[in-house]
A = this chain, B = another copy of it.
Amino acid sequence: MKILVVGSVAYDAVETPAGKRESQLGGSASYFSTSASYFTEVGLIGVVGQDFAPYDKEMFESHGIDTSGLIEADGKTFRWAGEYMEDINEAVTLETQLNVFGDFEPELSEAHANAPYLFLANIDPTLQMNVLNSMNQRPKMIALDTMNLWIDIARSQLLDVIGKVDTLLINEGEAKQLTEQEHLPDAAAAIISQGPDATVIKRGEYGAALFGQGFSFAAPAYPLERVIDPTGAGDSFAGGFMGYLASVDKVNEETLRTAAIAGSTMASFAVEDFGLDRIKNLTQEDIKGRFKAFEDLTRFNSLA
Protein backbone atom coordinates (compact mmCIF):
# COMPACT_ATOMS: atom_id res chain seq x y z
CA MET A 1 0.00 0.00 0.00
CA LYS A 2 1.57 3.26 -1.17
CA ILE A 3 -1.04 5.70 0.12
CA LEU A 4 -3.27 5.50 3.16
CA VAL A 5 -6.30 7.79 3.22
CA VAL A 6 -8.44 8.40 6.28
CA GLY A 7 -11.72 10.20 5.72
CA SER A 8 -15.44 9.93 5.18
CA VAL A 9 -17.49 7.51 3.11
CA ALA A 10 -20.99 8.85 2.64
CA TYR A 11 -24.23 8.78 0.78
CA ASP A 12 -24.95 12.23 -0.62
CA ALA A 13 -28.19 13.84 -1.76
CA VAL A 14 -27.15 16.51 -4.25
CA GLU A 15 -28.97 19.04 -6.38
CA THR A 16 -27.20 21.10 -9.06
CA PRO A 17 -28.54 23.04 -12.06
CA ALA A 18 -27.90 19.82 -14.04
CA GLY A 19 -30.20 17.67 -11.91
CA LYS A 20 -30.72 15.87 -8.65
CA ARG A 21 -29.49 12.65 -7.03
CA GLU A 22 -31.06 11.25 -3.90
CA SER A 23 -28.35 8.95 -2.62
CA GLN A 24 -25.00 8.73 -4.36
CA LEU A 25 -21.73 7.36 -3.05
CA GLY A 26 -19.60 10.22 -1.78
CA GLY A 27 -17.33 11.31 1.05
CA SER A 28 -13.75 12.55 0.97
CA ALA A 29 -12.12 9.11 1.22
CA SER A 30 -14.29 7.74 -1.61
CA TYR A 31 -13.32 10.50 -4.04
CA PHE A 32 -9.69 10.52 -2.94
CA SER A 33 -9.11 6.79 -3.14
CA THR A 34 -10.92 6.32 -6.46
CA SER A 35 -8.94 9.19 -7.99
CA ALA A 36 -5.58 8.06 -6.58
CA SER A 37 -6.22 4.44 -7.65
CA TYR A 38 -5.33 5.36 -11.26
CA PHE A 39 -1.80 6.21 -10.11
CA THR A 40 -0.89 3.82 -7.29
CA GLU A 41 -2.08 1.39 -4.58
CA VAL A 42 -4.38 2.95 -2.03
CA GLY A 43 -5.74 1.79 1.31
CA LEU A 44 -8.85 3.38 2.74
CA ILE A 45 -9.78 3.81 6.39
CA GLY A 46 -13.36 4.79 7.04
CA VAL A 47 -16.65 3.67 8.48
CA VAL A 48 -20.00 2.81 6.90
CA GLY A 49 -23.33 1.56 8.21
CA GLN A 50 -25.42 -1.54 7.64
CA ASP A 51 -27.04 0.19 4.66
CA PHE A 52 -23.80 0.37 2.72
CA ALA A 53 -24.32 -1.30 -0.64
CA PRO A 54 -22.07 -4.23 -1.55
CA TYR A 55 -21.66 -2.87 -5.08
CA ASP A 56 -20.15 0.35 -3.69
CA LYS A 57 -17.53 -1.65 -1.81
CA GLU A 58 -17.00 -3.72 -4.94
CA MET A 59 -16.42 -0.52 -6.92
CA PHE A 60 -13.55 0.36 -4.56
CA GLU A 61 -12.14 -3.14 -4.84
CA SER A 62 -12.40 -3.15 -8.63
CA HIS A 63 -10.03 -0.16 -8.49
CA GLY A 64 -7.55 -2.15 -6.41
CA ILE A 65 -8.35 -0.13 -3.31
CA ASP A 66 -7.58 -1.97 -0.06
CA THR A 67 -10.85 -1.81 1.90
CA SER A 68 -9.64 -3.80 4.90
CA GLY A 69 -9.90 -0.55 6.90
CA LEU A 70 -13.46 0.19 5.81
CA ILE A 71 -15.36 -0.80 8.94
CA GLU A 72 -19.05 -1.68 8.86
CA ALA A 73 -20.59 -0.41 12.10
CA ASP A 74 -24.04 -0.72 13.61
CA GLY A 75 -26.22 2.07 12.27
CA LYS A 76 -26.51 4.06 9.08
CA THR A 77 -23.85 5.45 6.77
CA PHE A 78 -22.98 9.16 7.03
CA ARG A 79 -25.43 11.22 4.92
CA TRP A 80 -24.93 14.68 3.52
CA ALA A 81 -27.49 16.69 1.58
CA GLY A 82 -26.50 19.81 -0.30
CA GLU A 83 -27.21 21.96 -3.32
CA TYR A 84 -25.35 24.25 -5.72
CA MET A 85 -28.32 26.07 -7.21
CA GLU A 86 -27.24 29.68 -6.63
CA ASP A 87 -23.51 29.26 -7.14
CA ILE A 88 -21.95 26.20 -8.73
CA ASN A 89 -18.74 26.94 -6.79
CA GLU A 90 -20.31 26.83 -3.34
CA ALA A 91 -22.23 24.01 -1.72
CA VAL A 92 -25.13 24.93 0.51
CA THR A 93 -25.50 22.19 3.12
CA LEU A 94 -29.13 21.23 3.63
CA GLU A 95 -28.64 18.39 6.08
CA THR A 96 -25.87 16.42 7.76
CA GLN A 97 -26.56 13.07 9.45
CA LEU A 98 -23.29 11.90 10.94
CA ASN A 99 -24.72 8.46 11.82
CA VAL A 100 -21.88 5.94 12.26
CA PHE A 101 -19.34 8.61 11.28
CA GLY A 102 -20.12 10.43 14.55
CA ASP A 103 -18.29 7.69 16.50
CA PHE A 104 -15.54 7.15 13.94
CA GLU A 105 -12.26 6.13 15.53
CA PRO A 106 -9.74 5.21 12.87
CA GLU A 107 -7.83 2.02 13.64
CA LEU A 108 -4.76 1.11 11.67
CA SER A 109 -3.52 -2.37 10.81
CA GLU A 110 0.20 -3.03 10.46
CA ALA A 111 -0.04 -2.52 6.68
CA HIS A 112 -1.86 0.77 7.15
CA ALA A 113 0.66 1.99 9.70
CA ASN A 114 3.55 1.37 7.31
CA ALA A 115 2.13 3.35 4.37
CA PRO A 116 4.76 5.76 3.00
CA TYR A 117 2.17 8.36 1.90
CA LEU A 118 -0.66 9.53 4.13
CA PHE A 119 -3.64 11.67 3.25
CA LEU A 120 -5.62 13.04 6.16
CA ALA A 121 -8.89 13.98 4.49
CA ASN A 122 -11.22 16.54 6.00
CA ILE A 123 -12.17 15.11 9.43
CA ASP A 124 -11.84 16.31 13.02
CA PRO A 125 -8.21 17.45 13.51
CA THR A 126 -7.99 15.41 16.71
CA LEU A 127 -8.67 12.25 14.68
CA GLN A 128 -6.18 13.41 12.06
CA MET A 129 -3.55 13.72 14.81
CA ASN A 130 -4.44 10.28 16.23
CA VAL A 131 -3.92 8.70 12.82
CA LEU A 132 -0.63 10.51 12.35
CA ASN A 133 0.55 9.28 15.76
CA SER A 134 -0.53 5.72 14.95
CA MET A 135 1.87 5.41 12.02
CA ASN A 136 4.82 3.07 12.63
CA GLN A 137 7.21 5.64 11.23
CA ARG A 138 6.74 9.10 9.87
CA PRO A 139 5.49 8.73 6.28
CA LYS A 140 7.61 10.20 3.48
CA MET A 141 4.83 12.64 2.86
CA ILE A 142 1.69 13.64 4.69
CA ALA A 143 -0.96 15.88 3.17
CA LEU A 144 -3.99 17.26 4.93
CA ASP A 145 -7.30 18.81 3.92
CA THR A 146 -9.63 20.71 6.22
CA MET A 147 -12.65 23.02 6.21
CA ASN A 148 -14.08 26.13 7.85
CA LEU A 149 -15.92 24.06 10.51
CA TRP A 150 -12.62 22.95 12.09
CA ILE A 151 -11.12 26.44 11.79
CA ASP A 152 -14.14 27.66 13.74
CA ILE A 153 -14.44 25.02 16.44
CA ALA A 154 -11.03 23.32 16.72
CA ARG A 155 -8.52 25.94 15.60
CA SER A 156 -5.75 25.06 18.00
CA GLN A 157 -5.97 21.28 17.35
CA LEU A 158 -6.00 22.05 13.64
CA LEU A 159 -2.89 24.22 13.86
CA ASP A 160 -1.16 21.43 15.83
CA VAL A 161 -1.76 18.86 13.12
CA ILE A 162 -0.97 21.32 10.28
CA GLY A 163 2.38 21.82 11.99
CA LYS A 164 3.17 18.14 11.41
CA VAL A 165 2.24 17.72 7.73
CA ASP A 166 4.12 18.40 4.49
CA THR A 167 1.33 19.81 2.34
CA LEU A 168 -1.89 21.54 3.29
CA LEU A 169 -4.67 21.47 0.70
CA ILE A 170 -7.24 24.15 1.42
CA ASN A 171 -9.84 26.34 -0.27
CA GLU A 172 -8.94 29.96 -0.93
CA GLY A 173 -11.54 31.38 1.46
CA GLU A 174 -10.53 28.96 4.19
CA ALA A 175 -6.83 29.73 3.69
CA LYS A 176 -7.59 33.40 4.26
CA GLN A 177 -9.81 32.58 7.25
CA LEU A 178 -7.20 30.28 8.81
CA THR A 179 -4.32 32.72 8.45
CA GLU A 180 -6.31 35.94 8.83
CA GLN A 181 -4.50 37.17 5.71
CA GLU A 182 -6.28 38.97 2.90
CA HIS A 183 -3.79 38.31 0.10
CA LEU A 184 -3.14 34.84 -1.27
CA PRO A 185 0.69 34.96 -1.21
CA ASP A 186 0.54 36.20 2.40
CA ALA A 187 -1.88 33.43 3.35
CA ALA A 188 0.41 30.85 1.71
CA ALA A 189 3.47 32.25 3.48
CA ALA A 190 1.63 32.11 6.80
CA ILE A 191 0.69 28.46 6.20
CA ILE A 192 4.26 27.54 5.29
CA SER A 193 5.52 29.32 8.41
CA GLN A 194 3.32 26.90 10.45
CA GLY A 195 5.25 23.85 9.28
CA PRO A 196 4.19 22.56 5.84
CA ASP A 197 6.71 22.77 3.00
CA ALA A 198 3.95 23.47 0.50
CA THR A 199 0.32 24.42 0.26
CA VAL A 200 -2.21 23.94 -2.50
CA ILE A 201 -4.85 26.64 -2.45
CA LYS A 202 -7.95 25.52 -4.31
CA ARG A 203 -9.82 28.22 -6.25
CA GLY A 204 -12.74 26.32 -7.76
CA GLU A 205 -13.39 27.29 -11.37
CA TYR A 206 -10.17 29.33 -11.31
CA GLY A 207 -7.92 26.34 -10.68
CA ALA A 208 -5.37 25.99 -7.92
CA ALA A 209 -2.25 27.77 -6.74
CA LEU A 210 0.69 25.80 -5.35
CA PHE A 211 3.12 27.61 -3.08
CA GLY A 212 6.35 25.91 -2.02
CA GLN A 213 9.67 26.90 -0.53
CA GLY A 214 10.82 29.63 -2.90
CA PHE A 215 8.45 28.95 -5.76
CA SER A 216 4.83 29.25 -6.77
CA PHE A 217 2.87 27.51 -9.49
CA ALA A 218 -0.50 28.29 -11.08
CA ALA A 219 -2.63 25.34 -12.19
CA PRO A 220 -5.56 26.48 -14.31
CA ALA A 221 -8.95 24.85 -14.25
CA TYR A 222 -9.89 22.99 -17.40
CA PRO A 223 -12.42 25.11 -19.33
CA LEU A 224 -15.32 22.67 -19.17
CA GLU A 225 -18.50 23.59 -20.96
CA ARG A 226 -20.57 22.15 -18.14
CA VAL A 227 -19.92 21.44 -14.51
CA ILE A 228 -22.48 18.79 -13.61
CA ASP A 229 -21.65 18.26 -9.93
CA PRO A 230 -18.72 19.90 -8.15
CA THR A 231 -18.98 17.60 -5.11
CA GLY A 232 -15.68 15.86 -4.48
CA ALA A 233 -13.59 18.01 -6.84
CA GLY A 234 -11.14 18.91 -4.06
CA ASP A 235 -10.70 15.31 -2.89
CA SER A 236 -10.36 14.12 -6.49
CA PHE A 237 -7.66 16.77 -6.93
CA ALA A 238 -5.92 15.50 -3.80
CA GLY A 239 -6.15 11.93 -5.13
CA GLY A 240 -4.44 12.84 -8.40
CA PHE A 241 -1.91 15.03 -6.59
CA MET A 242 -0.82 12.42 -4.03
CA GLY A 243 -1.35 9.54 -6.41
CA TYR A 244 1.16 11.06 -8.81
CA LEU A 245 3.69 11.83 -6.05
CA ALA A 246 3.44 8.30 -4.65
CA SER A 247 3.77 6.80 -8.14
CA VAL A 248 7.06 8.62 -8.78
CA ASP A 249 7.96 8.26 -5.09
CA LYS A 250 9.74 11.59 -4.98
CA VAL A 251 8.57 14.90 -3.54
CA ASN A 252 10.33 18.03 -4.73
CA GLU A 253 9.50 21.24 -6.59
CA GLU A 254 9.40 19.48 -9.96
CA THR A 255 7.16 16.63 -8.88
CA LEU A 256 4.87 18.94 -6.88
CA ARG A 257 4.27 21.05 -10.01
CA THR A 258 3.39 18.01 -12.11
CA ALA A 259 1.29 16.62 -9.26
CA ALA A 260 -0.78 19.81 -9.22
CA ILE A 261 -1.66 19.21 -12.87
CA ALA A 262 -2.38 15.54 -12.20
CA GLY A 263 -4.72 16.75 -9.45
CA SER A 264 -6.35 19.30 -11.75
CA THR A 265 -6.81 16.56 -14.34
CA MET A 266 -8.69 14.34 -11.88
CA ALA A 267 -10.77 17.26 -10.53
CA SER A 268 -11.77 18.19 -14.08
CA PHE A 269 -13.13 14.67 -14.61
CA ALA A 270 -14.85 14.55 -11.23
CA VAL A 271 -17.14 17.48 -11.98
CA GLU A 272 -18.19 16.14 -15.38
CA ASP A 273 -20.84 13.88 -13.88
CA PHE A 274 -22.69 13.30 -10.62
CA GLY A 275 -20.76 11.81 -7.72
CA LEU A 276 -18.12 9.29 -8.73
CA ASP A 277 -19.84 8.41 -12.01
CA ARG A 278 -17.08 9.90 -14.17
CA ILE A 279 -13.98 9.16 -12.13
CA LYS A 280 -14.89 5.57 -11.45
CA ASN A 281 -14.91 4.86 -15.19
CA LEU A 282 -11.69 6.38 -16.50
CA THR A 283 -8.97 4.79 -18.59
CA GLN A 284 -5.27 5.61 -18.47
CA GLU A 285 -5.76 7.07 -21.98
CA ASP A 286 -8.46 9.44 -20.68
CA ILE A 287 -6.09 10.68 -18.00
CA LYS A 288 -3.12 11.07 -20.33
CA GLY A 289 -5.31 12.88 -22.85
CA ARG A 290 -6.67 15.34 -20.31
CA PHE A 291 -3.19 15.92 -18.86
CA LYS A 292 -2.00 16.75 -22.38
CA ALA A 293 -4.92 19.15 -22.72
CA PHE A 294 -3.56 20.96 -19.65
CA GLU A 295 -0.17 21.16 -21.36
CA ASP A 296 -1.88 22.71 -24.35
CA LEU A 297 -3.90 25.08 -22.20
CA THR A 298 -0.75 26.56 -20.63
CA ARG A 299 1.81 26.37 -23.45
CA PHE A 300 3.42 29.57 -24.74
CA ASN A 301 6.68 30.61 -26.35
CA SER A 302 9.43 32.72 -24.87
CA LEU A 303 9.76 36.39 -25.69
CA ALA A 304 11.93 36.81 -28.79
Contacts and interface: CB of A to CB of B under 8 A. Distances in A.
Given A216-B223, A220-B220, A226-B183, A248 B297 contact: no
Given A206-B206, A298-B218, A225 B304 contact: no
Interface in A209-226: 209, 211, 215-218, 220-221, 223-226
B257 A299 contact: yes
A172 B185 CA distance: 23
B258 A184 contact: no
B215 A254 contact: no
Interface in A247-304: 247-248, 254, 257-258, 260-262, 287-288, 291, 295-304
A186 interface: yes
A217 B258 contact: no
Contacts of A225: 183, 185-186
A176 to B, nearest CB: 12
A218 B207 contact: yes
A203 interface: yes
Contact of A298 (B184, B217, B244, B304): B217
Interface of A: 183-186, 203, 205-207, 209, 211, 215-218, 220-221, 223-227, 244, 247-248, 254, 257-258, 260-262, 287-288, 291, 295-304
Given A207-B220, A209-B223, 19 more contacts: A183-B225, A183-B227, A184-B223, A185-B224, A203-B206, A206-B207, A211-B223, A215-B296, A217-B297, A218-B298, A220-B220, A248-B304, A254-B301, A257-B301, A258-B300, A260-B300, A261-B300, A262-B303, A298-B300
23 contacts: A183-B224, A183-B225, A184-B205, A184-B223, A185-B223, A185-B224, A185-B225, A203-B206, A206-B206, A207-B218, A207-B220, A209-B223, A217-B299, A218-B223, A218-B297, A220-B220, A254-B301, A258-B301, A258-B302, A258-B303, A287-B303, A291-B303, A298-B300
